[in-house]
């Protein structure tokens, strides 16, 4: 588009238009509709108009012109405050509305101070409103959580029937009823559960004993050492009603005595018998030393056998009764065979 100067200055051809934007992305006078449209299109509350002369356009931007488009600063601030009180997201609208107040005020600089103060007051109001809402929500959540916990927990004191085995020292009297603190109730419940568990275990043991009371259980054990000390192995076999139900081999190592191996054979045999359900057991062995020491008639003098002796007695304690018998080697051939198999193979294993 061609421009020309006139005596009045700033005048264009008679057909030319000036696009004045009072409220928009950028306030000012634009030569083309495209430039004006870029400032007002999609901008909420935009105020703009076209004029035939630059003077009229400048007067419109400064606040003159159409009275219907005039917006006072007070009205703009009130509208901004109402918008911003709902959420922080309204701050953009506040600034645009206050911008309108600035452009309509007719003053060039004072409205800037009005804008800053209005934004500050609106911002403070919005923050206060939001903080009050958050505080109310937190208070509601705390009340709700306390109510939930009270509903989930038992009362501080619970009525206890007179037949309850609660400790008298923990009981109290309230309203003619015997009450016990919750801690005592919990302790009593734990003790009751333990008693029930013990009774259940006793019943199982009794059932197991009834099945094995009529059975005749025997154990034969033996041990050997090639070199004494040297390669050592142990063997044991368990019989129920004269039928072998378990056979075990144990490799002691390459530098142990015959007595060490004998005790290991006895230990693994006692453990197997208890595991199989024997209650009354007859133990047979060809080691006079081990048999007499287990009977308690001989003392355990060797430091190397003290621990083995204690372990064998602990295994025997799992049975109701144990009878120890000394037998000749010719009656202990099966256990001797198992001990030699352990020494030959240099390992231990069981047959069940």
Lowest mean pLDDT among 72-86, 102-116, 193-207: 72-86
Q: What is the pLDDT of residues 128-166, one digit of tens each?
A: 555 555 566 666 677 667 667 666 655 444 444 444 454
Residue 280 is predicted with a pLDDT of 96
Q: Where are the alpha helices (DSSP H) in the chain?
A: 33-40, 54-62, 73-84, 91-104, 110-152, 182-213, 258-276, 288-295, 303-316, 333-345
Q: What is the pLDDT of residues 245-279, one digit of tens each?
A: 999 999 999 999 999 999 999 999 999 999 999 99
Residue 180 is predicted with a pLDDT of 58
CA atoms lying within 13 Å on the CB side of residue 21 = 23
Residue 109 is predicted with a pLDDT of 45
Residue 2 is predicted with a pLDDT of 40
Question: CA 151, 157, 161, 166 torsion: positive or negative?
Answer: positive
Lowest mean pLDDT among 7-16, 21-30, 155-164, 198-207: 155-164
Indicate the pLDDT class of residue 98, thresholds 50, 70 and 90. Answer: very low
Mean pLDDT of 172-195: 71
Find, among 267, 298, 285, the residue nearest to 329 by Cα. 285
Cis ω before 229 (30° cut-off from 0): yes
Residue 112 is predicted with a pLDDT of 44
35 or 96, which is more confident: 35
**Res. 185: pLDDT tops 90:** no
Structural element, H or E, at residue 279 = none
């Amino acid at each position: 588009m061609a421009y020309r100067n006139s005596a009045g200055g700033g005048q264009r051809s008679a057909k030319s238009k000036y696009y004045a934007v009072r409220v928009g992305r950028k306030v000012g006078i634009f030569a083309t509709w495209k430039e004006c449209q870029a400032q007002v299109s999609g901008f909420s509350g935009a105020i703009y108009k076209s004029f035939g002369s630059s003077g009229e356009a400048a007067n419109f931007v400064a606040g003159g012109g159409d009275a219907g488009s005039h917006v006072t600063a007070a009205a703009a601030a009130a509208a901004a405050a109402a918008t911003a009180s709902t959420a922080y997201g309204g701050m953009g609208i506040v600034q645009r509305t206050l911008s309108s107040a600035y452009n309509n005020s007719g003053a060039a600089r004072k409205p800037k101070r009005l804008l800053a103060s209005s934004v500050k007051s609106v911002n403070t109001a919005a923050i206060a409103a939001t903080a009050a809402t958050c505080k109310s929500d937190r208070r509601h959540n705390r009340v709700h959580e306390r109510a939930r916990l009270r509903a989930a927990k038992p009362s501080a004191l619970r009525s206890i029937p007179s037949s309850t085995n609660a400790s008298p020292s923990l009981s109290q009297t309230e309203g003619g009823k015997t009450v016990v603190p919750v801690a005592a109730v919990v302790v009593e419940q734990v003790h009751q559960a333990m008693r029930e568990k013990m009774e259940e275990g006793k019943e199982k043991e009794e059932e197991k004993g009834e099945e094995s009371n009529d059975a005749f259980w025997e154990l034969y054990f033996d041990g050997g050492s090639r070199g004494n000390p040297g390669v050592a192995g142990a063997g044991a076999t368990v019989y129920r009603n004269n039928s072998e139900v378990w056979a075990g081999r144990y490799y002691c190592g390459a530098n142990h005595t015959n007595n060490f191996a004998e005790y290991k054979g006895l230990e693994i045999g006692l453990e197997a018998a208890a595991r199989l359900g024997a209650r009354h057991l007859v133990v047979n062995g060809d080691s006079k030393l081990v048999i007499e020491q287990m009977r308690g008639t001989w003392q355990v003098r060797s430091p190397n056998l003290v621990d083995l002796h204690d372990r064998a007695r602990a295994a025997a304690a799992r049975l109701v009764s144990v009878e120890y018998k000394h037998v000749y080697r010719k009656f202990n051939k099966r256990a001797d065979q198992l001990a030699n198999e352990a020494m030959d193979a240099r390992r231990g294993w069981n047959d069940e």
